[in-house]
Each structure stands twice: as C-alpha cells, then as structure tokens.
Structure 1
C-alpha cells in the first residue's frame, strides 16, 4: 500500500536526456551504468514504453543511465522536466536491439569468470521502475559489465496481485527462452538468476520447466538466488522435488518481519511464505540440509519501503563480500545451512556470520 500511494514514474523517464546542459562544472560527475533488458511486455506505441499487456515474443533494449554519485540509502529520485543529475537518476542512452545483437552485448559484458546476472522483479512493478532499480543495484555493486533485467508484464497496481500471479506463470517460457539463448555460448559459464518476491516464484517455475524439458545442460550453469521469495512453502517444496539437486545450492534471502509477505500470506489464506522463514527454527535448519539450501537472514539490512520487503536493494553495497562468500563455497556445492547477514562486521570480515552450518552429502 505504501508503494501504491507513492508518486510513480511514467514511461517518460525512459526518454534519453543530454545531461551536458544540466551538469555544472563544480559538480561531481555522476556514475554511468549500462543495463540490458529483455521483456515480454507489449510495447506501448503511444507513450513509448511498455505496459502490462502480454506479448508472445521478447523485446530487447540497451540503456545507459546516470546515477548520482553521492546518495544515501536505496531511494530513487526520478528525473524531472529539468533533470538534476546530482540528485536524480536519468536515462542518457536507449536503443532497441535484435536478439543476436543482444546476445553479443551480453557476451561483451561477461564477468572475468564467465558469469552474467539476470534480475527478475516482483509484483507491482512497472518496466521503468524495474529498470531504475537495477541501475541502482548495479551502481552500488560497482561490478563491471551490464546486468540484465527480465521484465514480465506486472500490472504495476496494488490491486493486481492475482493478475500478476497469472502474468508470472505465463512468463515462464519467455524467461526460459532468454536463459537458453544466453547459455548456448561456451563463453557463458554461470548465469545468476536473481528473483525478488513474485519474481522468485517465476524463477523457480522457469527452472522447473527447464528440468521437465530435460535441459540439464542449461540448469548446470544456473545459480539461483531468491530475495524475499513470495512462494507458498508447500509449492516451493514441490518445485524442489521436480528440479532435484542443482550443482550450486539455491540461496534464499529471508526476513521473518517482512510486512509485504505477511500481506501475501493473508491473501493466500494464511499460507506461509518462503521469504519469512525463521532460521532460528531447528526445523528450518533440518530442511535446509535435506533440500541443500542456503537460507540467509537479512533482517539486519536496512529497508526503505517501510515493510522490510526491499532489503535486497541495500545488499548491493556489500557486493564484494557476498561474492567472496559465494565464491568460497562454489567448490564445495554441499555447503548448506542457515546464515545471518551481519552488517556490523561487513567492514572487517565477511558479512555472513554462520548461524548454523551443516554440510550435506554430495
């Protein structure tokens, strides 16, 4: 409800702006980030953006955005008629791509270890909101290359929860097609699939679909991370059963005080959600071991939405530590259990403090 009452950006914020007219000589230069996008939203030919109408095919784009260098927190200020690059995020370049050009741009943006990252947004997101959010994350993470946004046709409305659920389910084939096209190159070694909220549900359904299609060659490259996943616990168990063991255990970023997931649980008839797992519950530790999961409590991370649902956006500034944690366990794929994200210790050590660690069999 808080998000629904806020002033939301129109598709006008996708129009490129020449910032040279607005930057003063005494200002610190803003950060420039690149983002690749793939969407199964139908283009809005009138306003020039993408709405909530479903499309059978994917549309690919490439953006460059200017991000203020000195910011507090993860709040995003959208550009005004006369943009202020010292305070506001601004699109400075935008171009449509054909699929082969999109794949080539992705290959040009590979991390040194052959990794690429795909971000899948959650419920109640517009295309432009998701684009600006991934730009914020990319700027804070300071990672080289361009992350990929997969934007599915959310209605971007508080009352659209059921419609968004249907849209997410209908988007499994589109996301699977994107992943397959990128994994085809031998240069791509790992594909990070990062799903937030209902986007986590879409990610799991997509991996399940790939498994049922016997695409183990693709699944073998996937690293799945779900932030505040809006997934029924029993549905998640069913998904895990169908997917089976993955080479890299699935990571869950959870918080038992997530207000948005409390509301989701209420809508679903008080059914518990995966994103609200309590790692202090011995049964959770047992389940993490059995299912080979990494369950990470991020309650200590600041949220800006008043609900504790967007904590994932603040994790980007700890990107180096999180990457170090993940990389140190990559060779030991059986390293699973429950962890606590400790922001107080992030400056001097890994921010992931072991709460409970049980090494499962290979």
Structure 2
C-alpha cells in the first residue's frame, strides 16, 4: 500500500498559485472563495502553508479553465510560465478580510441563493484542494458559489496522525465558517461536501452546531460525505448528537476503497463509514433509522489507484445533489442506493431494476 501511494506521481508546489492576469482572456473562469486555518505564506503568491494559524484567513482565487479540459482531470500548470490554452491558470488572487469575504460571497450568492463548501481530506496541500474545487466547479452545473475550507494537512503520506490532529484543531474554524455562511442574507442553502478526513471534520463541526443549539444553521445545510474516513461507531455517535437532517445526510461509499482499507488497518480494524456495505440489510436499516442515504459509487472509474477520489469524476450527479427542492428525488430518501456510472441510474441494493437519475 505504501509503495502504491508513494508512486502517485509529481505533486504541484505553491508555484502553481502564481497569478497571470492575461490568462483569462476569452476563457472560462471559476472564482473560489477561501477560508482557512492554515498560516499564510511569507510570499503572498504562494498562498498558505501547512502550519496551523490561530485565526482564520480569507482569500479569493480566480482560475481559468483550458478549452481542452478533460472532465475529472486537473491540467496542472507545472511550467514556470503556464499556458492557459492547455493548463489551469490562476489569473487573480486577493487576500480578504472576514468582512470583505462575507460581502463578496453574499453578493455572488444573490442569484442562486446557494453555496457549495468543500472540505478536503488527508494528505492534501492547499493548492491541491483549491484546484480540485476548481475542477469540480468547472465539470458540474452546480449553481452554488464555490467556497474552499482548507485545514493544515501536512500533505505527507506518513503524517496521518498529525493530519488528524490538525483536523481536530480546525473544528472550531469550520464551525465558525458554517455559521458565517448560513447567516448571510442572500444564502438559502449550503452544500457541505467533505472528503475523507474532511468528512470527519465536517461531522465534528455539525456536532458542534447541534450542541450549540444552532438549528437554523443546520436547517440550511445539505451535507454530502465522500469516502468519509470515520470510525463506524464514532459516526453513529456523531449522528445521534446531530439528529436528522433534511435532505438526509448523503454518504458516498465504495467497498474497494484502498485508502480507507489502509486507514482501517491503522486503527484497530474498525470499519470506516466510507466502506459501509449497502447489501447488508442491517446497515440499510440503520441508515434509515439515522436518516442517512448511503450511495454506492463503486461503478465509477477512479483516476487514482486507491479508488479514493471517485467523487472527482461524478460531475454529472452533482446538480441532482444540489437540488434539495425536488421532494420526489430518490436522493431525498434515507436508506441506500447504487449509482450505475454507465447509464447514470440509481437503484436500490435489493431491487437492481432501478430508476433513472433524472427520473420520470
């Protein structure tokens, strides 16, 4: 497993964050708003480091998308001078105060009333998470304003324990950001999307909101966890405190997720929430009891050898996940579903006939 992880290829450094204003000419752009518990880099154009900061920082990055962009991929600008025709390129980077961040996000949300908040997972640098959200925004038709919460992952394979502590350190920060965003006057709903260890962090923030009695904030949330790296018993305990969400909390699971298999071995062979078996009637019954929807995405081809980042290739389904007003959608029902990547269809684990994703 370690050999496989170590061989995942070259990783982008902070140099990819250098901005080139002329890179936006005639090209599609995505503006990502950032709230982070990372320390700001000494050189502004390098963004944020892997160190923990006492206070949250805010920023905005506008990234141009190349015309030849392949869905699910990030065309990294590794060269000293990126080519916007073929590479993702930062064209604008501004540091924001909390007040400026709130004002800008609120203004951009005035049309849709929606925000899409992404929380990355273990072993992810600031630039990797930022560009991933740019890719997701470019590939999907989600109307929400993209916001990136970045916690200080060390972005090193052997720093799993340190990353877990850094995620714990960031619980109050994410809770504060959720309270900020849900209180904005133009915002009607926030899609909270947590991946891997970011799923655990998201659940902890939701738990804190529940303990504070902030039900108005919880009522505005549409929560999605992709391959959450959470102990099954811890997950159930978190759910007990948070209570039922509407729409149901959605958990994307894959039995063949090798990263979660490694995490399970590291932590006493305790089942991870991202590997729950939806063919087990007891698991499905528990999901219904807790008002959770388990969505098996094992049929989606994975761009990484660990099958841990399938969510990046699911752009077709995200508009459905965002639409919380369609009461007839199967994605609003607790229980379990299987996603068929070939036909973009959903089916129950015990009735594989299924219904089309869009439905009749």
TM-score by length of 2: 0.90
For the structure 1 residues 298 and 122, does the alpha-carbon distance in structure 2 shift closer, same or farther, using more than 3 Å as the test? same
For structure 2, which runs of at least 5 residues remain unmatched after alignment?
352-360
For the structure 1 residues 10 and 323, does the alpha-carbon distance in structure 2 shift closer, same or farther, using more than 3 Å as the test? same
Q: 1:123, 1:154 within 8 Å by CA — same for their partners in 2?
A: yes
Structure 1 Cα separation of the partners of residues 110 and 85 of structure 2: 29
Moved more, 196-205 or 38-47: 38-47
Structure 2 Cα separation of the partners of residues 103 and 332 of structure 1: 34
- Aligned partner of 1:354 in structure 2 is 348
Structure 1 Cα separation of the partners of residues 259 and 152 of structure 2: 20
For the structure 1 residues 255 and 141, does the alpha-carbon distance in structure 2 shift closer, same or farther, using more than 3 Å as the test? same
Of 52, 55, 58 in structure 1, the residue corresponding to residue 56 of structure 2 is 58
- Aligned partner of 1:173 in structure 2 is 172
Shift of 1:278: 1.3
Structure 2 Cα separation of the partners of residues 233 and 294 of structure 1: 15
- Aligned partner of 1:11 in structure 2 is 14
Shift of 1:333: 9.6
Of 31, 55, 58 in structure 2, the residue corresponding to residue 34 of structure 1 is 31
Structure 1 Cα separation of the partners of residues 264 and 110 of structure 2: 38
TM-score by length of 1: 0.89
SS at 2:326 equivalent: helix
For the structure 1 residues 179 and 84, does the alpha-carbon distance in structure 2 shift closer, same or farther, using more than 3 Å as the test? same
Report whether the alignment pairs 1:129 with 2:139: no
For the structure 1 residues 321 and 180, does the alpha-carbon distance in structure 2 shift closer, same or farther, using more than 3 Å as the test? closer
Within-5 A mapping of 1:223-234:
223-234=222-233
SS at 2:145 equivalent: coil
Within-5 A mapping of 1:163-312:
163-312=162-311
Q: 1:247, 1:333 within 8 Å by CA — same for their partners in 2?
A: no
Tell me how many residue pairs correspond in the alignment. Answer: 346
Structure 1 Cα separation of the partners of residues 268 and 228 of structure 2: 17
Q: 1:219-273 deviations in whole A, cap 9, x for unaligned?
A: 1211111000000000001101111222321100000000100000011121110
SS at 1:45 equivalent: coil
Shift of 1:128: 0.5
- Aligned partner of 2:108 in structure 1 is 109
Structure 2 Cα separation of the partners of residues 140 and 264 of structure 1: 29
- Aligned partner of 1:336 in structure 2 is 334
- Aligned partner of 2:40 in structure 1 is 43
Shift of 1:329: 3.5
Structure 2 Cα separation of the partners of residues 8 and 298 of structure 1: 26
For the structure 1 residues 331 and 215, does the alpha-carbon distance in structure 2 shift closer, same or farther, using more than 3 Å as the test? farther
For structure 1, which runs of at least 5 residues remain unmatched after alignment?
24-28, 358-362
SS at 1:195 equivalent: strand
- Aligned partner of 1:74 in structure 2 is 72
Shift of 1:183: 1.6
Moved more, 40-49 or 225-234: 40-49
Shift of 1:331: 9.0
Shift of 1:111: 6.9
